[in-house]
């Protein structure tokens, strides 16, 4: 089994997202290739994810927790250690905010799609790449 074997599982996790336009899944796994946590993009627990909110992009962006952040939160909520683990994310390269959380939580390697060629996210992806490089987090694109 290789880390990229988790892509199919992460894609299934992404389908749990109620976002009508973008579904992202993330898996955190340990050195022994055991899945420790999963996450998908969605509203925080207990917050109403109505169609009205989900279909209004500015509102949705204020509410949505990214898949990477949800995976970290799910690990913490379950008392699962993730320091020294790897993360695989589908659909999008981690943004700068998720990069900060991944670095702070001790993730050592990130498997991600190539950054999207989208002006809206270019600065965020560039800052994320800089932080990963400076913090010694290895990023492997697939």
Nearest to 3 by CA among 36, 25, 29, 26: 29
Mean pLDDT over 1-28 rounds to 97
Q: What is the pLDDT of residues 123-142, one digit of tens each?
A: 999 999 999 999 999 999 99
Q: How confident is the model at residue 120 (pLDDT cuts 50, 70, 90)?
A: confident
What is the pTM assigned to this prediction?
A: 0.95
Tokens of 63: 């509410």
Q: Which residues contact 5 (CB under 8 A, 6 or more apart)?
A: none
Phi and psi, residue 128, nearest 5°: -60, -45
The full set of domains in the chain, from first to last, is 3-141 (3.40.140.10)
Q: How confident is the model at residue 83 (pLDDT cuts 50, 70, 90)?
A: very high
Average pLDDT, the chain: 97
Residue 36 contacts residue 82 (beta carbons within 8 Å): yes
Q: Which residues are catalytic?
A: 68
């Amino acid at each position: 089994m290789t880390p990229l074997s988790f892509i199919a599982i992460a894609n299934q996790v992404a389908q749990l997202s109620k976002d009508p336009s973008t579904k992202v899944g993330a898996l955190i796994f340990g050195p022994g290739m055991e899945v420790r946590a999963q996450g998908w993009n969605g509203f925080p627990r207990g917050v109403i994810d109505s169609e009205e909110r989900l279909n209004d992009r500015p509102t949705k962006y204020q509410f949505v927790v990214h898949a990477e952040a949800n995976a970290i939160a799910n690990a913490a909520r379950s008392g699962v250690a993730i320091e020294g683990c790897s993360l695989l994310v589908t659909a999008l390269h981690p943004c700068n905010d998720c990069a900060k959380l991944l670095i702070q939580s001790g993730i050592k390697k990130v498997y991600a799609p190539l950054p999207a060629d989208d002006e809206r996210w270019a600065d965020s992806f560039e800052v994320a790449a800089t932080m990963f490089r400076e913090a010694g987090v290895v990023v492997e694109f697939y």
